[in-house]
Amino acid sequence: MSLWVPFFSDNVVLVSRVAHFYYETNIESLIIPTYFDSGHPPFYGLYIALVWLLFGKSLAVSHWAVLPFLIGIAVNYYHIARWLLPKNLLPFALLLLVLEPTLLAQSVTAGLDLALVFGYLTALNGIIYRKRGLMCLAFCLMAFVNIRGIIGVMLIFCCDWIYLLSTAKQKQQTINWFTSCVYIAKPYILPTLLVLCWYYYHYIHTGFTVFNENSGWAHAYTYVDAKGFLRNIGIIIWRFLDFGRVFLWLLLGFLGMLWLKKRTVISYKQIQLLLFSSLPLLVYIPMIGYRTIPILHRYFIVFFLLFSLLLVSLLPLLVQKWKQYLSITFVVLALLSGHLWVYPDHIAQGWDASLACLPYFEQQQKMLNYIEKEAIPFEQVATVFPAYKPLKYSRINNDMRQLAAKDKKPLREHPYVLYSNVMNDFSDEELLDLKNNWEIIQAYDGITVYSRLYKNRTWEGE
């Protein structure tokens, strides 16, 4: 159903553009050009390029390329749920998996975060079922997708110790620290060496490891002050409440209070899952909270899934079956409603985090057709990232036409502007200017998304 959906948001550059480089050069070099080298390991783009070389370059093939990761997510999530839950609760857990708004959005837009989620859940399974070799493979995948994958390996390291210490306490065993350290360290050695080798090789050829001051992401490598950190904490909380999840948290909070009231004994597995969900998150938040990089919903997909499992595990506190079914129905409807959550234009929204973005792609194609029909030069139509990139990077074709980048010059100096509410890079002043001083010459409206082509009333060019 999603084979027609173009690459969207950061995937246009971090995946498609990198894949095009490898595909068009027949992988002559692993080092991508410096001007779009973000510092992330580029191997997910290399994977997509290899798939194109084998099966042909197309949008459909690009979507099929993420299917193994989707299957892997489902399988690993099922095994974690099976470890934690009785059989009668498994359907509830699987339902919340397929309805998680951001996971669903990344699935239909072929996002690279699917590989990270797959790797993280695989490693977590390796901890639970004591499959250290599987963990090593998962770490190699995560570390070579992007830098957040490397951070994910560090978070799994926390989970590894949580599981070891809590299991030892449960069984009342004395810990041999030397043996335990050796046991835990083994699956981390190979991926650590590979990452160090890659960044050494990268540094030799580029002169930098992660920080590339000449890339479009240079601003993301700086740090915020205390006020900025508190603002980022607020954004992270918002991400956890967004797109209907606020009702999931309300139910989870209610079940937590019910547990405190009843003083019901919870299992060690529930305690372990709570620690798997919360302690790595507390480590993760400062890592991204002190950076100026935008904090996106997809950074937290794994935590959304683990807290959903924790919610399902607490449902037996509602003794009556009808209350359990009513609670799950409540959460399901809340998550489904999330795809209709649209904020006013002046509030930046995570458009790659729910299916609210889907109407945009059809509107975009209609708008491009209109621009072509009216013989408006593409270079005279200004817009923002990623819509101004050559069409081949999003549509996966050979169309090198591209719209103009709005920020190359003042807004008033552009003859036409293409705006959609999925674009977060128009300032409040620019939106007000478009509303008051520009003429709408074409518009498309949907339930969640609208698109407008504006003509500059004061432009005197040809």
pLDDT in tens, 49-82: 999 999 999 999 999 999 999 999 999 999 999 9
The average confidence (pLDDT) of the chain is: 93
At 330-378, the pLDDT tens digits run: 999 999 999 999 999 889 899 999 999 999 999 999 999 999 999 999 9
Show the beta-strand stretches assigned E in 293-358: none
DSSP 263: T
Give the whole-angstrom CA distance, residue 180 versus residue 360.
52
The pLDDT, as a whole number, for residue 171 is 84
Q: Report strand pairing: 381-383 vs 416-420.
A: parallel
**Model pTM?**
0.95
Which residues have C-beta within 8 Å of that of residue 367, sequence separation ≥ 6?
A: 418, 442, 444, 451, 453
Beta strand 404-405 with 416-420 is: unpaired
440: left (phi over 0), alpha (psi -120 to 50) or beta: beta
Q: How confident is the model at residue 91 (pLDDT cuts 50, 70, 90)?
A: very high
The tens digit of pLDDT for each residue in 288-344 reads 998 888 899 999 999 999 999 999 999 999 988 999 999 999 999 999 999 999 999
Is pLDDT at 125 greater than 90 in this prediction? yes
- E strands, 335-449, are 381-383, 404-405, 416-420, 438-445
C-alpha to C-alpha distance for 419 and 16, rounded to whole angstroms: 23
249 has a pLDDT exceeding 80 = yes
